[in-house]
């Protein structure tokens, strides 16, 4: 639906449509605690969501679509060139051109399948997804192959993989305690940490909202953080260097909030 509208309307009208969508659905509220935001949400444990995502993933696997994101199928190629450039640079500077990546919260391979055409050119690729239990079980049974694997936890993945990258693609903002989680990740000393499509603001404090998903995707709502950019980056100062950041053009969520991507490298 949105892709069709983009084809027939000029940018000035598209901007207005995005604003209307965000007023009706989008991100709402400013909650003092995760518990209060959760009470206003349907949360992520929704069988309808999982059923739609796995159905879409199977269509991608069978070649009926290029990739899926949040159960929405994409029938035209849409490579994430900024992310691909970063991953290929990492591969070119690693031993034997290896890219061994943890895609935390990677669903059933959304980012992997989106960029598979160029990822397949790497001399050595292991794409490991860490997800919720039902996603992992389904992924192992129907999608796993020599390049794509599924794990229940970062710890489990690290036990059998020499990981040199961990990717958070539009997922950090949906964790209840993101900073506590990130401190554990920092302790693993993974060489590169990438945040792709992460929500930030410049209000000098984090904001906790409820995101309402447009019904043409699926009926759901859940707590969502909008991070203070400075606070998020400062968490890494002692053990990681911020190599670069770039704006992400995939989505528009209003003038007061940005989607950005950050690339960190371990100092040691």
DSSP string computed for 72-103: EEE-S----HHHHHHHHHHHHTSGGGEEEEEE
What is the enclosing helix (H) or strand (E) of 150?
Answer: strand 148-151
Token readout for 261 is: 């991507």
- For the chain, give every domain's residue range: 2-266
Q: Which residue blocks in the chain are alpha helix, DSSP H?
A: 2-8, 11-24, 34-39, 47-61, 81-92, 110-114, 116-119, 133-142, 154-160, 178-187, 229-234
pLDDT at 5: 42
Q: Which residues are 169's β-sheet partners?
A: 196
pLDDT of residue 266: 97
For residue 185, count other CB atoms closer than 10 A to its CB: 17
Listed range (10-19, 126-135, 237-246) with the worst mean pLDDT: 10-19
The predicted structure's pLDDT at residue 123: 94
What's 191's DSSP letter? Answer: S
pTM here is 0.86
Cα distance between residue 102 and residue 105, in whole Å: 9
Phi, psi torsion values for 45, nearest 5 degrees: -80, 75
Average pLDDT over residues 210-220: 82
- Rg of the chain on CA atoms, in Å: 18
172-205 pLDDT per residue, tens: 999 999 999 999 999 999 999 999 989 888 778 9
Asked if residue 246 has pLDDT above 70, the reply is yes
Neighbours of 10 (CB within 10 A): 8
Q: Strand, coil or helix: what is 148?
A: strand
The domain 2-266 having CATH identifier 3.40.50.150: the answer here is yes
pLDDT value at residue 48? 80
User: 22-58: buried (b, 16+ CB within 10 Å) or exposed (e) per residue?
Assistant: beebbbbeebeeeeebeeebbeeeeeebbebbbebbe
Residue 73, strand partner residues:
68
């Amino acid at each position: 639906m949105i892709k069709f509208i983009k084809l027939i309307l000029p940018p000035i009208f598209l901007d207005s449509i995005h604003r209307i969508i965000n007023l009706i659905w989008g991100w709402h509220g400013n909650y003092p605690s995760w518990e209060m935001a959760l009470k206003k949400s349907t949360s992520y444990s929704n069988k309808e969501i999982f059923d739609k995502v796995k159905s879409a993933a199977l269509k991608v696997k069978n070649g009926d679509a290029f990739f899926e994101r949040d159960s929405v199928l994409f029938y035209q190629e849409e490579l994430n060139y900024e992310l691909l450039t970063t991953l290929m640079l990492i591969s070119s500077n690693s031993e034997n051109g290896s890219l061994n990546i943890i895609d935390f919260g990677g669903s059933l391979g959304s980012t992997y399948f989106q960029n598979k055409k160029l990822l397949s050119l790497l001399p050595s690729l292991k794409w490991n997804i860490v997800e919720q239990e039902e996603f992992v079980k389904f992924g192992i049974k129907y999608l796993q192959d020599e390049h794509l694997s599924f794990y229940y936890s970062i710890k489990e993945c690290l036990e059998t993989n020499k990981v040199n990258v961990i990717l958070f693609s539009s997922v950090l903002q949906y964790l209840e305690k993101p900073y506590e989680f990130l401190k554990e990740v920092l302790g693993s000393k993974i060489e590169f940490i990438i945040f792709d499509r992460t929500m930030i603001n410049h209000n000098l404090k984090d904001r906790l909202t409820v995101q309402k998903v447009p019904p043409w995707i699926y009926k759901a709502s859940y707590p969502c953080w909008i991070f203070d950019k400075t606070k998020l980056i400062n968490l890494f100062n002692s053990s990681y260097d911020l190599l670069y950041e770039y704006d992400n053009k995939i989505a528009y969520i209003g003038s007061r909030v940005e989607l950005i991507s950050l690339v960190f490298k371990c100092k040691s």
